[in-house]
Structure 1
């Protein structure tokens, strides 16, 4: 970590023309995220991550376009550059705001309306597709099995012993999702969860996790968000009526109703992030929160998906 810090200091001096003098925060998940105060008084966030398929440039370009359009998110301050094999960029420090907790239809509608605002902003962007899509929406992967390859999950002792009802639901959901692969694809935020959104009393304050941009049919992006919008510390699957409210509020905000095929696609996609989380719960022996909801709601969501 000391070596990484030295490299990041030198990177800041080259890219931002200032030296970090204080560490404000640090998070390590899919990326290393470090907030620092610079010697010129600015506070910035530096993100570095492995990027073997060069997704990061498109993700940061989407974020920059959204910020320029007035969408509530941190504005990137640099392009993505290579730092000893890591993709690195800096963005504004945008602390504050609160999680909007709860999975009621009313909260679903607020979340969906914000999602629709972003969809309008990015719908005409023409950028290199950020493929592969994030794992929790990567049902169209080109691997040999049902699930996208995951070197940590695939070696678990129980990887071939998943509960048969979970496998059956995932198989039907993926088959329905693959049937709509001909629909036009758009860019969209694929990790639309409460943990990545911050709100003030007067509205949205910041949307985070722009590394999770995906290239999917619009209805699939909306469906995935409708199933996950309230997930915070422990991801799960939303109540059916709240997913329904999310999809309807999105359609209303966009001024168009999904066609039958799109509506079915949305319901199939609503299951996939929860299926991804349910599998992880089983493999890593954690509380079966998503798994319970998938097994409870799966049949009805598949019925609505025409699966």
Structure 2
């Protein structure tokens, strides 16, 4: 057996070439009941023809952690062509939501990943980040981030449709393209259940159009939301649009708060951009 690569942040991701010549990816992360459900959703999507790696195992204990294995899908470009990026990312996301099983068909997916847990069960504004003991609610400074997150959360508490399953980390780094055609989507630990408009809002705020290291601009998000409506065959309603914008603010404000707490440059959101996105969410500052 030969090790091909090793990477990962919250998980250890190890590429292996087995003795029979087959290339696989093994992922090892802290044990959590939701991992088994994520693998099952990935398996169902693969069987439905969605471009994701084929799961080769279920979730298996490994010491105090849990491990899974999947087929290795190499290659592909980080981005489609710039003039097709919004449509390509949106169409891929619409297809995912269309083919995904319903939440009732899966086992437990709670808690959601922290950057998607706007409705977490804790008392404070921010959920607890994975892999650290920091309490974001106790971190002072950059009060505009807390204000943006609170306004976005309050808007998301109004309205919403029944939960569906989707991918809450629609970053360019998790997708690969062959031209403008989707080759593969990675990181299926990011499966979560929420209303369609929230999941679409996360994706529209996180994808990239011209640089995989930069998140969507306001205009990029607008284009994604319009393209998503076309892809699903029905434009987002005014309420769905506002909730989608609010969801994007919340996930990027969470990341900005974490960056501030860690003493890093705040790159996920600026105060001016938060104001513009919140205006589109119908919850601008008075």
Q: After TM superposition, is the score higher than 0.5?
A: yes
Q: CA deviation at 1:228?
A: 0.6
Q: 2:201 aligned with 1:223, yes or no?
A: yes
Q: Secondary structure at the match of 1:179?
A: coil
Partner of 2:223: 245
**Residues of 1 paired with 2:76 and 2:257: CA distance?**
32
**Residues of 2 paired with 1:87 and 1:256: CA distance?**
40
Partner of 2:30: 50
CA contact (8 A) 1:101 1:230 kept: no
Q: 2:89 aligned with 1:111, yes or no?
A: yes
- Matched ranges for 1:117-136 at <5 A: 117-124=95-102, 126-136=105-115
Relative distance call for 1:153 and 1:235 in structure 2 (3 A) is: farther
Question: 1:174 is matched with which residue: 142, 153, 168?
Answer: 153
Relative distance call for 1:274 and 1:112 in structure 2 (3 A) is: same
Q: CA deviation at 1:159?
A: 4.2
Question: 1:303 is matched with which residue: 275, 279, 285?
Answer: 279
CA contact (8 A) 1:77 1:90 kept: yes
Question: 2:258 is matched with which residue: 269, 273, 280?
Answer: 280
Q: CA deviation at 1:304?
A: 1.9
**Residues of 2 paired with 1:278 and 1:233: CA distance?**
18
Partner of 2:12: 32
TM-score (normalizing by structure 2): 0.90
The aligned length equals 280
**Residues of 2 paired with 1:201 and 1:172: CA distance?**
39
**Residues of 1 paired with 2:156 and 2:183: CA distance?**
33
Structure 2: gaps spanning 5 or more residues: none
Q: CA deviation at 1:152?
A: 2.8
Structure with bigger gyration radius = 1
**Residues of 1 paired with 2:80 and 2:256: CA distance?**
21
Give runs of ≥4 in structure 1 deviating > 6 Å: none
Q: CA RMSD in A?
A: 2.2
Structure 1: gaps spanning 5 or more residues: 1-20
Q: Secondary structure at the match of 1:143?
A: coil
Relative distance call for 1:281 and 1:124 in structure 2 (3 A) is: closer
Q: Secondary structure at the match of 2:157?
A: helix
Relative distance call for 1:225 and 1:100 in structure 2 (3 A) is: same
Relative distance call for 1:155 and 1:147 in structure 2 (3 A) is: closer
Relative distance call for 1:65 and 1:159 in structure 2 (3 A) is: same
